[in-house]
Amino acid sequence: MTHALWMSSGAMVWAAHFAALYGFTALACARGFATAVPWVAGGATLAALLALAFLVLRNVPRGDEFTRWMTMAVAGFAAVGVVYETVPLFIVPICA
């Protein structure tokens, strides 16, 4: 069970980042404080990338080679996803 949790932890970080980013953006647009969105997006992205880097660097302490490889691969793909979902917040109007 713990190996499956390690392997999917990158996707969980990505999903949490996605929900936090777009949930906050929707709330900011509804409440009229859209100027805070880039700051929160930058902070959330930094936190998610640090969490993913921790997964890659720490990896699975006593896992087999497949578990280590999958953890690193999923975390790498999740890092790309985190960056790709953050970029539009900085290049298009936020509450258009």
pLDDT digits (tens, 9 = 90+) for 35-57: 889 999 999 999 999 999 988 88
Q: How confident is the model at residue 63 (pLDDT cuts 50, 70, 90)?
A: low
Show me where the domains of the chain are located: 2-91
Q: Which amino acid is at 87?
A: V
Work out the average pLDDT over 12-33. Answer: 93
Note the pLDDT of residue 61. 60
Contacts of 68 (CB under 8 A, 6+ apart): 59, 60
Contact 15, 85 (CB under 8 A): no
